A = this chain, B = another copy of it.
Amino acid sequence: MSELGEEVREGQLAWRGLRVLMAIPGSSLRVFAKRLGPGQELLSSLQEFVEEKQLKAPFIITCVGSVTKATLRLANATADNTNQVIRLQERFEIVSLVGTLNPEAHLHICLADKDGRTIGGHVLGDLEVFTTAEVILGEADELCFTREMDSRTGFPELVIQKRLEQI
């Protein structure tokens, strides 16, 4: 085999290397950064972003910012009793935002008030930005998130699948 042949085999190894990377467990990841400004609503803005970028398995990595409002569903809510809701209208620092975003958002938030006291729950909306919200989203680009009714909970719950199309 000529030296040229050796070089060609390196090219082959590279290509096979990419295929091997795709076969290992879990998924590779892309990240997206977004800054929202005063008056923008966090939940709907994130949902629009997911739609615009056509993300299939998006989730929150981190979020820092402040809001002037929030509507949260509290821990005692069930599928039969979803009216355990609190509507807040004061300034809060976002100290945690967790969850997944596709095809419906499932986000929980923790907010700190003017005394540092915190309140948390399931995000229903009205997260009006006060000064800023910086969000880093992840997209598991080998996975696809859908939701299916789970008769045990009465809610459509997350279903995780491998994507059929590969890069």
Contact = CB atoms under 8 A, between A and B. Distances in A.
Q: Which range contains the number of A residues in contact with the other chain?
A: 35 or more
Interface of A: 4-5, 7-15, 17-18, 20-21, 24-35, 37-38, 53, 57, 59-64, 66, 72, 74-76, 84, 86, 90-100, 106-122, 131-132, 134, 136, 138-141, 143, 145, 150, 152-153, 155, 157-160, 167
17 contacts: A8-B11, A11-B12, A13-B15, A25-B30, A25-B53, A27-B33, A28-B31, A33-B100, A33-B145, A64-B107, A74-B116, A75-B113, A75-B114, A106-B134, A131-B155, A132-B158, A136-B138
A74 B14 contact: no
A77 B158 CA distance: 36
